[in-house]
Chains A and B, each alone.
Chain A
Amino acid sequence: AQSVTQLDSQVPVFEEAPVELRCNYSSSVSVYLFWYVQYPNQGLQLLLKYLSGSTLVKGINGFEAEFNKSQTSFHLRKPSVHISDTAEYFCAAQFSGGYNKLIFGAGTRLAVHP
């Protein structure tokens, strides 16, 4: 079955520290991967995406993610977080043959503390 797993439901971190939010997917077909961020009471904003090519993709707000096919992972990283990065982060996938619908992970709540 095709699925997306976010291993951490909550990640607390101090301001200016690095952070990694983990995402794994399960699929026997090709996949496109996305990270979306949701600030409180707001919609989903696209952070970055992997479609093909370089496995290291850079997004907005200083975030980057690396696609690892052998480990079926797409972890999100930021070298130095800010208070304003506090939000819910969703990893999502489009699986080949899935008519483009997004399958989301359960989300990771990033809480940045001063």
Chain B
Amino acid sequence: AAGVIQSPRHLIKEKRETATLKCYPIPRHDTVYWYQQGPGQDPQFLISFYEKMQSDKGSIPDRFSAQQFSDYHSELNMSSLELGDSALYFCASSASGTSGGTQETQYFGPGTRLLVL
């Protein structure tokens, strides 16, 4: 079965550079979520999109922005990178239920490991 695809899998950047992470959801999934997992930490919710509109926002720095495109893939843009941005960034996708409620199991991609030097 098709899974969530993330690219690149690994990324090394210098401080103050920019980075773009891409996420391709499972086919027919209309919702995308981004999470950040620091070293030894639990994943923290950053932002989510449903049908190309931002649906929720978590602890995402103002230096970061994201969007979901017409083909449902999503990109997380990170500017003015800091050492503390080094983390594993996960994308997850889900398919909205007929109720539009919360019964939407999220399936995670393999993550993008970002290292800021």
Give the complex CA separation of A114 and B110 in angstroms: 29
Is there contact, CB below 8 Å, between B42 and A49? no
With A43-B111, A46-B107, A100-B48 in contact, is A106–B42 under 8 Å at CB?
Answer: yes
**Number of interface residues, chain A, beta carbon within 8 A:** 23
Is there contact, CB below 8 Å, between B56 and A101? yes
With A101-B48, A101-B58 in contact, is A90–B43 under 8 Å at CB?
Answer: yes
**Number of interface residues, chain B, beta carbon within 8 A:** 25
Is there contact, CB below 8 Å, between A102 and B43? yes
Is there contact, CB below 8 Å, between B90 and A51? no
A-B contact pairs, 24 of them (CB 8 A): A32-B102, A43-B90, A43-B108, A43-B110, A44-B43, A44-B108, A49-B105, A90-B42, A90-B43, A98-B102, A99-B56, A100-B31, A100-B48, A100-B55, A100-B94, A100-B104, A101-B48, A101-B56, A102-B35, A102-B43, A104-B44, A105-B42, A106-B41, A107-B42
Taking Cβ atoms with an 8 Å cutoff, the residues of B that contact A are 31, 33, 35, 41-45, 48, 55-56, 58, 90, 92, 94, 102-111
- Nearest first, the 3 closest Cβ-Cβ pairs linking A and B are A99-B56, A104-B42, A44-B108
